[in-house]
């Protein structure tokens, strides 16, 4: 049963990486796939800490930092939509910031 959990978590991580690589048109879809990768990493961390009978304090810290990362990504998305009008990467030039 434990190996099935590891296989499922690794498949979820690989699917998240695949969606991050394949969806490069919109910033919102890339942010959603990054959050999916973070949640699959949280699942892997939870399974690992449960396997070695460790405390889950590090999981709470990981969730806190992932929420901060998501908030920062959304603020960048909002500022990009306000300045450029859309979230396409073709209309956004990094050198102009």
**What CATH number is associated with residue 81?**
1.10.287.3510
Q: What is the pLDDT of residue 23?
A: 77
Domain count, the chain: 1
State the residue for tokens 């073709």: 90
68-86 pLDDT, tens per residue?
A: 999 998 998 888 888 878 8
Task: Please name the residues in contact with 29: beta carbons below 8 A apart, sequence gap of 6 or more.
Answer: 19, 23
Residue 40, both tokens = 């699959």
35-44 pLDDT, tens per residue?
A: 999 999 999 9
Instruction: Give me the domain span that covers residue 34.
Output: 2-96
């Amino acid at each position: 049963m434990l190996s099935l959990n590891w296989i499922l978590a690794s498949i979820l991580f690989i699917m998240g990486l695949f969606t991050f690589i394949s969806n490069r048109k919109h910033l919102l879809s890339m942010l959603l796939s990054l959050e999916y990768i973070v949640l699959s990493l949280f699942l892997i961390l939870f399974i690992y800490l449960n396997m070695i009978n460790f405390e889950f304090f590090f999981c709470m810290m990981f969730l806190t930092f992932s929420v901060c990362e998501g908030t920062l990504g959304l603020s960048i998305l909002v500022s990009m939509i306000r300045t450029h009008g859309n979230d396409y990467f073709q209309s956004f030039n990094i050198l102009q910031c």
